[in-house]
Chain A
């Protein structure tokens, strides 16, 4: 008997497509011991999921696999389809990213879970149901007997994902593969799930492969980390080592480009990795990262291969801190300083919302925003943070005029603009711009970049001369670090980061006073996110535009904002200057949200406040505090009966809670 449950040796996976043969996984070898947990990290397109699917032998028909995957000393690649069936779901279980699409919406949860036991362990119906209930209990789901009778859409996303994990646990597998299981979930839900995964590992000696793009998440569930880039392992080792002493430039850049714990725009500029992950043909050798690397030299192509650094720490390159090439990473770390602007802190409000409500639907009402008041100061960045369904995007869309508020007033520079786009005048449309979350969808795929930006200029800035427009477009493209050659390109030809740059250029091209940024970085990879955040910050410093920055990511909000507003269930829970909210928070929800953010540094792990329960039903009007019921500091009945008063701590820091400071 061998020490390792899973041994992967020189694994290659190639896909033959219309554009030629592509290498998705290239020369990957690693071992996974019994009761060990490995986290695989990398950006999208790095072959993480392909690797997982290859282990499950679940690949498309155009894939060619080479190498060996030995599971308990048996090569899975030599198994017949029938033999594989007894392994898949039984000995090796997998949990996918999106729980909603991995559960069948027309079958009850109980039926779907029973099937697993009945199929793999040949249990009868009653025994299978018993096993199902046990598995659900193991995932800390209250009332498992009630859950089995429900359909997937009747439970929340977090519970769905816990059900998927319970399904994977049913046959007590030896190995569990989790492919970004919390990426589609809110941060407080994620915290609860990560906790139960960690607990499970202690209880059921089980090996685990955890795939994620977020080092913070991996830290909570794995001891060892494998960093993948473009289908290859570039570095692997214990998490402490990887974090403190990354030797591959990619690992170092990946860790440094995340805005994390306490990094703010005034002090640090985020690290970026130029370019993006490219598809690789099969004949390309050498370091896959070379074309984006700061520390590139002649040896990158010729002397490339995985080497031992120390102990179990392996890496393909040790030039992360190489000194023969000056450290551009460090040079770049000085942020642009905001010039002392006399207008900056004046009392005048650029945008003001007064008791704004939004109710969707006429017959079945959905209360999205339930009365919020706030103001945005000129040349400042207000970050709105909250989980999905808290009304933050709705607020942004009302400001930018996609639809009018149902009640209340939106005032911009002393004019009432509580009206939709079709009633707004040109001046208002020009002054308030919107950057959408998904640049692939917000840029018309059939139009060229020149047309996309040019049309906005023509419409709102009255620049009708084609040559003049083109000159200005080239100027603005240069500001967002794109060259002249992008003029004729269409959005599908661009990468996600480039697309978002074009969207930013479009908004800036007509020099607005306020830009509403609706999650502009959440569809992007972390390295690209960093460059977009840097760009947004630089442009704000240069042009003095104000941002209403909406995000679910507290790290991003903390990095970029001057003011932070926390929202929950259509209400403001806390508002204040960034440092006051981040360091001197008063609302229990702010506290829970802050505690749930995964910490990148493995030594600085913190206590998580677990929130149980669900968001209040948006189709009903909430009488008391919307957070009551989930709150860990609930005072008593008053929380459910009475809406909490505003507690003002200072001129610009207030919160809504029955707990006095």
Chain B
């Protein structure tokens, strides 16, 4: 932890990244209570108001809804889904990847082929098809589907780190004192693989934000009236010429969060490599 702050001092980019993430976390937590509008409230007198006018800090959209309010409320759903997705896909990835790598042989081959098939379909297309069939998507269904789409990636990373650890002598030492497989996998090996797995989980966090926003943009994400950043972009596309801010601000929100998390993820991996 001391090393984390030492490196942080030397890396202004990481500070900016962390600041942006913290900003969005605070926005999601306390933002809604600080804004006088709600995300559904339509100011019918003031449609497509430019930023700063008539008390709308970031302007309004074609229906007169406050953009700031919609972005802030939207951050709640997107952060919830992304956080849950990265956690669920990482946990399932560890389970699957560890079992495959540990037992090897036919289990491993079956695992690898299944993952190959899943990976051959782009995660976005996969999620889109499933969501399309299901019809309406909620936070829960979105989380489950995006997690499944991400499992090949997290499971492969887990399998990879397990394989390097598996050949270590402490695993042999555990075997010849008669430990069972579960103990060896989760008590002996798991604590030594947290580094790469945490890095992958943070990377997945960034990817899931992209994914949720993309699904929203494609119209299969969270359904209205729940505000969704991707959906805001597509809703306001027809008025992009008259009111560019209606698209710009949600797009900026997506970009800033994704980039900030990516920077953070890179930084974490740098720090964790040193710890090894």
Interface residues of chain A, those whose CB is within 8 Å of chain B, are 18, 400-402, 421-422, 424, 426, 429, 434, 436-438, 441-447, 455-456, 459-460, 506
Are A444's CB and B6's CB within 8 A?
Answer: no
Q: Which of B93-101, B167-175, B239-247 contacts A (4 or more CB under 8 A)?
A: B167-175
Are A460's CB and B192's CB within 8 A?
Answer: no
Q: Which of B69-77, B176-184, B257-265 contacts A (4 or more CB under 8 A)?
A: B176-184
Is B108 among interface residues, defined by CB-CB distance under 8 A?
Answer: no
Give B275's nearest chain A residue, CB to CB: A492
Is B23 among interface residues, defined by CB-CB distance under 8 A?
Answer: no
Give A451's nearest chain B residue, CB to CB: B187
Are A442's CB and B191's CB within 8 A?
Answer: no
20 contacts between A and B (CB under 8 A): A18-B3, A18-B274, A402-B175, A421-B175, A421-B178, A434-B172, A436-B172, A438-B169, A441-B168, A441-B169, A442-B170, A442-B173, A443-B173, A444-B174, A444-B188, A445-B170, A445-B192, A455-B177, A459-B178, A460-B178
Complex A-B, nearest 4 residue pairs according to Cβ-Cβ distance, in ascending order: A446-B191, A442-B169, A444-B170, A441-B169
A302→B159 CA distance, assembly (Å)? 57
Q: How many residues of B contact A (CB 8 A)?
A: 17
Please give, as numbers and ranges, the residues of chain B lying within 8 Å of A456 by CB-CB distance: 177
Please give, as numbers and ranges, the residues of chain B lying within 8 Å of A445 by CB-CB distance: 170, 192
Please give, as numbers and ranges, the residues of chain A lying within 8 Å of B175 by CB-CB distance: 402, 421-422
Are A460's CB and B177's CB within 8 A?
Answer: yes
Please give, as numbers and ranges, the residues of chain B lying within 8 Å of A506 by CB-CB distance: 173
Contacts A444-B192, A445-B192 hold; do A426 and B172 have CB atoms under 8 A apart?
no
- In angstroms, how far is the closest chain B Cβ from the Cβ of A101? 19
Q: Which of A442, A446, A459, A460 gathers most chain B CB within 10 Å?
A: A446
Contacts A441-B168, A459-B179 hold; do A434 and B191 have CB atoms under 8 A apart?
no
- In angstroms, how far is the closest chain A Cβ from the Cβ of B239? 53
Please give, as numbers and ranges, the residues of chain A lying within 8 Å of B191 by CB-CB distance: 444, 446-447
A444→B274 CA distance, assembly (Å)? 18
Please give, as numbers and ranges, the residues of chain A lying within 8 Å of B179 by CB-CB distance: 459
Are B173's CB and A436's CB within 8 A?
Answer: yes
Are A429's CB and B176's CB within 8 A?
Answer: yes
Please give, as numbers and ranges, the residues of chain A lying within 8 Å of B174 by CB-CB distance: 444
A438→B6 CA distance, assembly (Å)? 31
Contacts A438-B169, A445-B192 hold; do A402 and B6 have CB atoms under 8 A apart?
no
Of the residues A18, A434, A446, A447, contact of B176 by C-beta under 8 Å: A434
Give B175's nearest chain A residue, CB to CB: A421
Please give, as numbers and ranges, the residues of chain B lying within 8 Å of A401 by CB-CB distance: 176
Are B168's CB and A400's CB within 8 A?
Answer: no
Give A460's nearest chain B residue, CB to CB: B177
- In angstroms, how far is the closest chain B Cβ from the Cβ of A24? 19
Please give, as numbers and ranges, the residues of chain B lying within 8 Å of A455 by CB-CB distance: 177
Please give, as numbers and ranges, the residues of chain B lying within 8 Å of A436 by CB-CB distance: 169, 172-173
Of the residues B6, B170, B178, contact of A441 by C-beta under 8 Å: B170
A203→B173 CA distance, assembly (Å)? 51
- In angstroms, how far is the closest chain B Cβ from the Cβ of A612? 34
Give A400's nearest chain B residue, CB to CB: B176
Of the residues A18, A426, A443, contact of B6 by C-beta under 8 Å: A18
- In angstroms, how far is the closest chain B Cβ from the Cβ of A433? 8
Are B170's CB and A426's CB within 8 A?
Answer: no
Give A433's nearest chain B residue, CB to CB: B176
Are B188's CB and A459's CB within 8 A?
Answer: no
